[in-house]
Chain A
């Protein structure tokens, strides 16, 4: 496959065998275009942004702001003032919880999340509940790993003041019907945040079409660098929210009597940001937008169905997460074999998977398993690699008798 040539790491050998990288849900690999952008930045552009009068600072500022515009275009936000660079999805959600949540939530108010959230879309809200006296409500999931929408309708009430749900589940692969959730919440004037960390590598996201109020995602799961992510927020909401952190760049005039905050998006970007990361993320977007997304989506769909068929035929293997709408994530458990043992044996065959609770312990509880093994796909994976995975699982069976 020609695209594989763009990812130098895919040529690595693991324990003497070709790397089969199925841990894309944890972090994706980086194309040469991104690696080169980081290299170029540090070699020819490195300087602090928004403050230097010298040419290099102007160059770095222009590159960083160009990346912001690329992000805006990528998710079709209305304005680049709505694109806030953060460290990642986790920081984006914490920003909203602390800035919006602490300003506008009161004791007795309710926040709704779902039972398939990553810990980073649970804990910030629990912290907010402790700080404000608000209460957390949870939309249950059914046995296939789909949200029970009737329960969501029942949970929505006059006390509901915020809804925060994942777009695609990291542990199960479920694609959540977020448009329906947003429509129902908006009927009551309740803002909605979507955790898009697992969605942006697989789906074309249009925040205006979705109609969400906030959208959070990480660069490193969409072929960009680690340490940089994005919070999209509707301008009207961002305008009335106080800053998240204080420091340089977020303030326009500082005296000991009073500080004037900077305009959007800088109000939420205190301190020198991950400039190289932002530029690298822009390079990842350029790379992605040059690809044929319909063809990639069809390929990923083929990978998922091929893997599902191959694994479902293995004795004693149970797939966790069988929603009708799924992205490229396959979680499974093997009878009498713990996920860690599976992970270790697969690694010996060169196959990298995630073994554990995937930072979604409530999901594990829901399915009554301590942990799962998760294979998560990207467009550079192949059906031949799925054969290697299936063979490696047979080896696990052999070791455990």
Chain B
């Protein structure tokens, strides 16, 4: 598979075309905005956190296929997870995107999200894939400031 085919796999294109949990949330008790000053793309992540468990998670915004697919897959993975598990997944995804773990290591730690591993071969696009994760991290910490990936 070429680097490009690996980047734009069907699963990613599908999440881009029909993003999951792509809506605002009226009952959110955590919310954070992520913003990439380089390209003007933005994402808002809404969380309903109860007893340390992510009961519901949605997102809104505009961005490239990689950022949208990453956010969409993230919401699907994080729903029902504890805060601690979310942090662990964040660390794993971050390492995978930075190419710090081998494919095997990444696969073990991030499950389905390993499909995003191809991004690490495109350094200019790593921020596209990581922005939603930085944003959810900010929402979990209750940070009021927009989460910039710069």
Contact = CB atoms under 8 A, between A and B. Distances in A.
A361 B4 contact: no
Interface in B117-150: 122, 124-125, 128
Nearest to B127: A340
A345 interface: yes
Interface in B48-106: 62-66
A345 to B, nearest CB: 6
B116 interface: no
A19 to B, nearest CB: 17
A361 B40 CA distance: 8
A401 B122 contact: no
Residue in B4, B125, B128 whose Cβ sees the most chain A Cβ within 10 Å? B4
Interface size range on B against A: 20 to 34
B1 interface: no
B74 to A, nearest CB: 18
A338 B13 contact: no
Contact of A399 (B8, B40, B62, B122): B8
Given A355-B39, A356-B38, A370-B41, A340 B13 contact: no
A256 interface: no
Contacts of B13: 399-401
A344 interface: yes
A339 B63 CA distance: 9
Q: Taking each of B3, B38, B39, B62, which has the highest tally of chain A beta carbons within 10 Å of its own beta carbon?
A: B39
Contacts of A341: 8, 64-66
Interface string A302-338: 0000000000000000000000000000000000111
A356 B4 CA distance: 20
Contacts of B41: 338, 340, 370-371
A332 B61 CA distance: 21
A344 B39 contact: no
A338 B40 contact: no
A355 B125 CA distance: 12
Given A338-B64, A341-B64, A399-B8, A371 B40 contact: yes
Interface in B1-60: 2-4, 7-8, 13, 17, 38-41
B7 A344 contact: yes
Contacts of A336: 17
B63 A356 contact: no
A79 B102 CA distance: 63
Contacts of A364: 40
A226 B13 CA distance: 39
B3 A348 contact: yes
A339 B13 CA distance: 15
Contacts of B65: 337-338, 341, 400
B125 A344 contact: yes
B4 A345 contact: yes
A348 B4 contact: yes
A339 B8 contact: no
Given A337-B65, A370-B62, A399-B4, A344 B122 contact: yes
B124 to A, nearest CB: 7
Contacts of A345: 4, 8
B64 A340 contact: yes
A242 B64 CA distance: 47
A220 interface: no
Given A356-B39, A357-B40, A370-B63, A340 B128 contact: yes
B44 to A, nearest CB: 14
24 contacts: A337-B65, A338-B65, A340-B39, A340-B41, A340-B64, A340-B128, A341-B8, A341-B64, A341-B66, A344-B122, A344-B125, A345-B4, A345-B8, A348-B2, A355-B39, A357-B39, A361-B40, A364-B40, A371-B41, A399-B4, A399-B8, A400-B8, A400-B13, A400-B65
